[in-house]
Amino acid sequence: MAQHTLHPEWIAMHRRRRQLAASLLNALGDKKCVLVTSAEHGAGRTTLLNDLRSHFEHLAPGKVRIASLSVVADDPARHVLPEHLLLIDGPPVQDGTAILVISQAWLAQIDGSLLVVNARQTMRDELNAATHWLREAGIVPLGIVWNEKGLPSVGARLFQRTQRVNRWIPAWLNKWLSGVSL
């Protein structure tokens, strides 16, 4: 039977995510309802929450719930429970119309917000505008998650595309093409 080994980079990423989940739980302390938002689209807030879901379950079994704003939009009393931490995956602050959907009942329940920013994309002005908007809405910014999500290099993307194309080229043509020098 073949033995599988885990890639060291995957193990390191897993440890970093577990540390981030533990740090977030520690920093949020007695908070019960936290809005997770971003300054703009594509900062990775939904991906971050999905990645951390299993780590939260490991660190605090049954105590952390993650839901999108559309799922919990009806009645906060049904979703905010004293023994749970509810992390709401909210819309980006830049998308003002979507975030204005938050009712006054929900605003009263939200203890604060985590702002996810993309290290390569979020500009200082956007970050300042987002924190200003959150304070104006009465949502206290509790912290910032600095997302340095890695984008694949151009070479890696080209390699992936050629591998995808190679599956569709007949073997004899692929062999002939690999022997042709450009």
Listed residue (55, 105, 100) closest to 76, CA to CA: 105
Question: Does residue 23 lie in a domain region?
Answer: yes
Whether the predicted pLDDT of 106 surpasses 80: no
For 108-132, how does the pLDDT look when each residue is reduced to its tens digit (9 = 90+)? 788 888 888 887 777 888 888 888 8
| C-alpha torsion sign, points 25, 26, 32, 33 | negative
Categorize the per-residue pLDDT at 169 as very low, low, confident or very high, splitting at 50, 70 and 90. Answer: low
Domain around 85? 8-151
Grouping H, G, I as helix, E, B as strand and the rest as coil, residue 73 is coil
Strands (E), 24-152: 33-38, 64-68, 85-89, 112-118, 141-147
- Quick one: 76 and 165 in the same domain? no
DSSP state of 81: -
Q: What is the average pLDDT value for the chain, to the nearest integer?
A: 76
Grouping H, G, I as helix, E, B as strand and the rest as coil, residue 64 is strand
Question: Does residue 86 lie in a domain region?
Answer: yes
Question: Does residue 67 lie in a domain region?
Answer: yes
Residue 144 is predicted with a pLDDT of: 86
- Quick one: 171 and 132 in the same domain? no
- Quick one: 131 and 84 in the same domain? yes
Categorize the per-residue pLDDT at 68 as very low, low, confident or very high, splitting at 50, 70 and 90. Answer: confident
CATH number where 112 lies: 3.40.50.300
For 126-167, how does the pLDDT look when each residue is reduced to its tens digit (9 = 90+)? 888 888 888 887 888 888 888 876 554 555 555 556 655 555
Residue whose token pair is 């991906």: 47
- Quick one: 95 and 164 in the same domain? no
Residue 100 is predicted with a pLDDT of: 59
- Quick one: 90 and 39 in the same domain? yes
Q: What integer is the mean pLDDT of 74-83?
A: 68
Question: Does residue 75 lie in a domain region?
Answer: yes
Residue 66 is predicted with a pLDDT of: 86
- Quick one: 161 and 104 in the same domain? no
The CA distance from 45 to 36, in Å, is 7
Give me the amino acid identity at 20: L
Q: What integer is the mean pLDDT of 4-21?
A: 78
Span of 11-20, 42-51, 63-72, 74-83 with lowest mean pLDDT: 74-83
Question: Does residue 95 lie in a domain region?
Answer: yes
Indicate the number of domains in the chain: 2
- Quick one: 166 and 136 in the same domain? no
- Quick one: 145 and 165 in the same domain? no
**Cβ proximity of 52 and 17 under 8 Å:** yes
Question: Does residue 14 lie in a domain region?
Answer: yes
Whether the predicted pLDDT of 182 surpasses 60: no
Question: Does residue 3 lie in a domain region?
Answer: no
Question: Does residue 2 lie in a domain region?
Answer: no
The CA distance from 171 to 117, in Å, is 45
- Quick one: 131 and 76 in the same domain? yes
- Quick one: 124 and 58 in the same domain? yes
Choice between 4 and 49, residue whose per-residue pLDDT is larger: 49
- Quick one: 81 and 145 in the same domain? yes
- Quick one: 96 and 49 in the same domain? yes
Give me the amino acid identity at 83: E
